[in-house]
Amino acid sequence: MGDRIRAKALKTVRRGRPVAWVPDWMNLGNLLFVGLWASKGPAAGEDRHVLLHESRRPALDLFPALRDAYFIGEKDVRFTDQRVTPWWPAPKTQPPHFDDDALAPYIRDHLMPGSGLDARPRGLSAGDFVVNVRRGDYFSVEAHRREFGMDTRSYVLQAVTESIERFGAPDRFVFVSDDVDWCSTHLSALADIAPTTAGGGDVQQDLRAIVHAPRLLITNSTFSYWGGYIGDALNPGREVVTPWLFSRGTNGGRSYHHRPHWHLVEDIPGGWGVPATAAVPTGV
């Protein structure tokens, strides 16, 4: 009872700036979505900001204009600031795709300045097909596996098949992933189509490879989506292939982050069900 009374009293006092009270587990891709919310503040008549945890500062340093415009440390939060969670509660249904009028100016004014993303990675060629695969906690953490996990191998092979049917075989596949060893082992069938290699390295290198990929295949990762969005701004008209699935707890599982011109893989062999555990050597 005491906590509820205190929360109600604070709500009456905290009527100042809306500050997105992000949890410290949010990584770069999620923070860029919250940054987009903050950038819409002037149009909504609000001075919006986003809490920046010190553990996430190195990632935000890649986007200094965004960091300096909207992100603040906890010591800079005022007692009267509203603590808000603009991503929650999520609506039961979402638009069929992510297509926001604020996206282009957000990328131009807040993401590109000082990011270094306009420089094309050396060694990336016009005939390359970049395959960006998210593994990590999507498979090592049980709750995330049930929410986001997919049969990655089946998805990638299906996506590549559909891409080749539309545009032909590439000259080379380039793996950009948090687990390139997994890609080399479980996606070895791609070597029957074209040579494979691993690219990227740190966050900036990985993002640059995704942004400048002449052809791009992504999985259901917010980091991947932003590579797609920024790449659309810098290299309009390129091919982007994306899965139907994003999160089983939102929008019936269907991704709403894809853009209208991206190629959506609607189904894969075995379907979009929760994959086997990472310990089982099935290739998921």
Domain boundaries, the chain: 2-87, 128-265
Closest CA to 248 of 143, 157, 129: 143
DSSP assignment of 66-101: HHHHHEE-GGG--TTSEEE-TT-SPPSS--SS---T
pLDDT digits (tens, 9 = 90+) for 56-106: 999 999 999 999 999 999 999 999 999 999 998 888 888 988 877 899 999
Look at residue 280 in the predicted model and tell me its pLDDT: 40
pLDDT digits (tens, 9 = 90+) for 217-263: 999 999 999 999 999 999 999 999 999 999 999 999 999 999 999 99
Kindly report the CATH number that applies to the domain delimited by 128-265: 3.40.50
Amino acid, res. 51 = L
Amino acid, res. 69 = A
**Mean pLDDT, all residues of the chain:** 92
**How many Å apart are CA 68 and CA 39, to the nearest integer?**
12
Neighbours of 142 (CB within 10 A): 12
**pLDDT at residue 281 above 50?**
no
pLDDT digits (tens, 9 = 90+) for 104-136: 999 999 999 999 999 999 899 999 999 999 999
Closest CA to 155 of 193, 186, 121, 185: 186
Q: Are 78 and 17 in contact (CB under 8 A)?
A: yes
The model carries a pTM of: 0.92
